[in-house]
Amino acid sequence: MNNKPLAIAALSAAVLAGCNLTPENNVVVKPNSDYQWLEQVEDKQALTWVEENNNAAFSVLKGNALYQQSFDNNLELLNSTDRIAYATQRGDYLYNFWTDKDHKRGIYRRTTLQEYQKENPQWETILDIDALAKTDNQSWVYKGMDCLYPDYNRCLVSLSPGGSDAVVVKEFDISKKAFVKGGFELPEAKSAISWIDKNSVFVGTDFGAGSMTDSGYPAVVKLWQRGTPLTSAQSLYQSEKSSVAAGGYVLKDGDTTLNLIYDATTFYTTKMFVLRDGVKTQLPIPKDADIKAFLNGELFIQLKSDWTLAGKTYTQGSVIYAPVDDVISDKADYKTLISSSKSLSISSISTTKTALLVSVLDNVKSKVLRFTHQDGQWQSKAVNIDDTGNVRVMNTNETSDDFFLNYTSFLSPNSLYKVDGKSGQLTLLKSQKSQFDSKDLVTKQYWATSKDGTKVPYFAVMKEGIELNGKNPTLLYGYGGFEVSLKPYYSSILGTNWLEKGGVYILSNIRGGGEFGPSWHQAALKTNRHKAYEDFEAIAQDLIDRKITTPAHLGIQGGSNGGLLMGAAFTRRPDLYNAVVCQVPLLDMQRYTKLLAGASWAAEYGDPDKPEMWEYIKTYSPFHNLDAKTTYPKVFFTTSTKDDRVHPGHARKMVAKMQDLGHEVYYYENMEGGHAGAADNSQRADMYALIYSYLWQQLK
């Protein structure tokens, strides 16, 4: 391999940083530099550094036949029309957002339920994002559409320039297929806006000084009336700047509405207020509880910790309920809808016209329970569907008890079912064709033992009868944070680029995630963060002990919080891995609260400005645990210039420091894409091709 481009990139970065070089080996002699100049996202000098490092990576990773073959195949798969057009029912129509080779940024379209059930339904285009981008001369990325019940004709469309979290909001008329002149409209910002009725909305945005939290989200909630300037909107609530965000929204139970204002004081704690006749009343519920549903006049609340009330204890993870008026007046006698257990956790709750749909995980296997109100009680029945994969509730609405279910697994393409709300009968609506050869592949669930004795599960996808010789290229994926559960999923990209070619894929369910409820997540919070890293290392070691692989053939991958996991993994145990794909990562854990949305994550990681907390954080902060003498795997870092959630400075500074310490790395920063890393299918195909080119280079 020719490493000359990487050496040139390292030299150029050092010159830009204004550092002196040792004549002996051209390695920067100031490894303790803070590299903060790379935090200037659009700075010309920083972007020159980005371009040089991108080109250095491209010269190697694009310089082989595998890259081009992968890119072409990826783009064909991503643009394939043989995909399920997932749709949301609003009134008489099903709405879908669709991208393909002719619609790079996508079209928003609709059809009827009768038409949707056909093999090739006819669609009516409502909004063409590519055409809009051309007209506006903007690189628009569609970020969602919030439409007003019950006719769903007026919608609030969110559009991002380049894929960032900050969006422009415009009111849209579905019937006229046009934006509303003089309608509700917000300039680019991280806003929070939602309908109250046709002529009023809750709005939080950048109103000027003091209107945004330290995390960069709205601190002020206002009531904005149609036809009036935003400056005249009525203030309803203002949070402390230390809060994560504040906003308002409406829950509906038939014709009954419940206007709510929230103040997310931390990532996991919230003050909730009911707004009635202009009066705010704080709900007397635990600060870490979540409101999950409003149905049959009752409010459903999920607990994240035990709650003792009037001598009765409601357990962590359970869902409890009571009449909404009793909850507001603090006179509620709560009942338990469902409790969690050591193996079972509640993932989500959806509502239909009269039923509750509770999605649960039991040892990371999906089930859906349907609760109906009979004889004064809520009674449940499991939906009869395969539980060996991932089952997801979709397309619920206020006017019907029918709903959709999607089933998938690592080896089973997506299948979409319509469930009859009365009989519970499933009807197959759509099924995706297999997009890679899986006939000789198997999925297994194993358990590793972590350092403290905790049993940690993981899924393994591999060739049936695989030879246990330690030579199998293996990719271990992890996240382990924010109560996010990793579940089986079907990926044509993973299948064609990795599994078909003999690679082994591992999905880890380490602590910090939500696979076993709030306790599994809380076990790795703050000063217990190392538990997630120990779990990940235990799985890696278990793979080696089973002789599935060895460090020379073991690669790891993760993004965002998973990117932090990758940074901690290769700095803690560089001997375990030979490839690391570290995507949109947090890495400088001393400054993370000062960069973009970072302050909102202090509830997860702790505040590094507190000396006692920094004493712990610095033990794993990847940026601070690099040294020149350790041999690291050749890491591949990816990020996006337009990522306004996790600052690209994390990846930039890590790369610059590693280069200055004499370590070879690969770096790719996409100029668009936001936190997702890519803004359209062509960019996604390119990113995946780079990643798999790298993995096969390192692990074969």
User: What domains lie within the chain, and their CATH numbers?
Assistant: 4-75+443-699 (3.40.50.1820), 163-428 (2.130.10.120)
Contact 418, 429 (CB under 8 A): yes
Tokens matching residue 93: 């129509």
d(CA 680, CA 496): 20
Contact 260, 291 (CB under 8 A): yes
pLDDT, position 34: 86
Report which of 553, 558, 549 is spatially closest to residue 578, judged by C-alpha positions.
553
- Which letter does DSSP use for residue 28 in this model? B
In this structure, of 14-18, 584-588, 686-690, the range with the lowest mean pLDDT score is 14-18
- Which letter does DSSP use for residue 524 in this model? T
Residue type, 69: Q
pLDDT, position 458: 98
pLDDT, position 692: 98
List, in order, residues 6 or more apart from 73 with CB less than 8 Å away: 496, 497
Residue keyed to tokens 């391999």? 1
- pLDDT tens track for 208-265: 999 999 999 999 999 999 999 999 999 999 999 999 999 999 999 999 999 999 999 9
- Name which residue leads in pLDDT, 21 or 370: 370
Tokens matching residue 569: 């993994």
- Name which residue leads in pLDDT, 384 or 487: 487
**Within a 10 A sphere around the Cβ of 234, how many other Cβ atoms?**
12
Tokens matching residue 530: 């190392």
Which neighbouring-strand residues pair with 167?
Answer: 189
Between helices 681-699 and 44-61, what is the axis angle to 10°?
60
In this structure, of 139-143, 501-505, 531-535, 675-679, the range with the lowest mean pLDDT score is 675-679
Has residue 107 got a pLDDT over 70?
Answer: yes
Q: Is the peptide bond before 574 cis (omega within 30 degrees of 0)?
A: no
pTM of the model: 0.92
Residue type, 557: Q
* Antiparallel, parallel or unpaired: β 103-111 and 124-128: antiparallel
H/E segment holding residue 520: helix 518-522
Percent of the chain with pLDDT over 90: 93
Q: What is the arithmetic mean of pLDDT over 635-648?
A: 97
Residue 419 backbone phi and psi in degrees, to 5: -105, 125
Report which of 317, 325, 276, 272 is spatially closest to residue 296, judged by C-alpha positions.
325
Burial class (CB in 10 A: 0-12, 13-18, 19+), 74: buried
Residue type, 189: A
Tokens matching residue 13: 């970065």
d(CA 258, CA 374): 24
Q: What is the arithmetic mean of pLDDT over 478-489?
A: 97
- Which letter does DSSP use for residue 402 in this model? -
Residue 514 backbone phi and psi in degrees, to 5: -115, 15
Contact 152, 91 (CB under 8 A): yes
d(CA 212, CA 240): 9
Q: Which segments within 198-310 are labelled E, that is strand?
A: 200-204, 220-225, 234-238, 245-253, 256-264, 270-276, 279-282, 290-295, 298-302, 307-309
Tokens matching residue 615: 């004493």
Contact 260, 196 (CB under 8 A): no
Q: Name all contacts of 452-458 with Cβ < 8 Å and 24+ positions apart.
A: 452/531, 452/534, 454/511, 454/523, 454/531, 454/535, 456/508, 456/509, 456/510, 456/511, 456/535, 456/538, 456/539, 457/363, 457/364, 457/509, 457/515, 458/506, 458/507, 458/508, 458/509, 458/539, 458/542
Q: What is the arithmetic mean of pLDDT over 356-385?
A: 94
Contact 505, 543 (CB under 8 A): no
Q: Alpha helices, DSSP H only, in 287-411?
A: 324-328
**64 confidence band (pLDDT: 50, 70, 90):** confident
Residue 190 backbone phi and psi in degrees, to 5: -85, 85
* Antiparallel, parallel or unpaired: β 474-477 and 554-559: parallel
Tokens matching residue 219: 């601190």
Residue keyed to tokens 């939080």? 204
Between helices 44-61 and 649-660, what is the axis angle to 10°?
70
Has residue 699 got a pLDDT over 60?
Answer: yes
**11 confidence band (pLDDT: 50, 70, 90):** very low
d(CA 425, CA 100): 33
Contact 300, 285 (CB under 8 A): no
Put residue 392 in one of left, alpha, beta given phi > 0 → left and psi -120 to 50 → alpha. beta
Tokens matching residue 444: 């297994």
DSSP-based three-state secondary structure for 569:
helix
Q: Alpha helices, DSSP H only, in 438-517?
A: 492-494
- pLDDT tens track for 243-256: 999 999 999 999 99
- Which letter does DSSP use for residue 438 in this model? -
d(CA 526, CA 605): 4
- Catalytic residue positions? 560, 675
Report which of 51, 68, 74 is spatially closest to residue 684, judged by C-alpha positions.
74
- pLDDT tens track for 371-423: 999 989 999 999 988 878 999 999 999 999 999 999 999 999 999 999 999 99
Q: What is the arithmetic mean of pLDDT over 547-560?
A: 98
Report which of 670, 692, 694, 693 is spatially closest to residue 683, judged by C-alpha positions.
670
Residue keyed to tokens 């036809």? 227
Q: How confident is the prediction for the chain on average, in pLDDT?
A: 94
Has residue 10 got a pLDDT over 90?
Answer: no
Cα angle 280, 283, 286; round to 5? 145
pLDDT, position 33: 65
Burial class (CB in 10 A: 0-12, 13-18, 19+), 493: buried
Has residue 19 got a pLDDT over 70?
Answer: no
Q: Which segments within 538-615 are labelled E, that is strand?
A: 554-559, 579-583
pLDDT, position 267: 97
Residue type, 311: G
pLDDT, position 16: 27
d(CA 36, CA 33): 8
Has residue 29 got a pLDDT over 60?
Answer: no
Q: What is the arithmetic mean of pLDDT over 550-566?
A: 98
Tokens matching residue 29: 């002699």
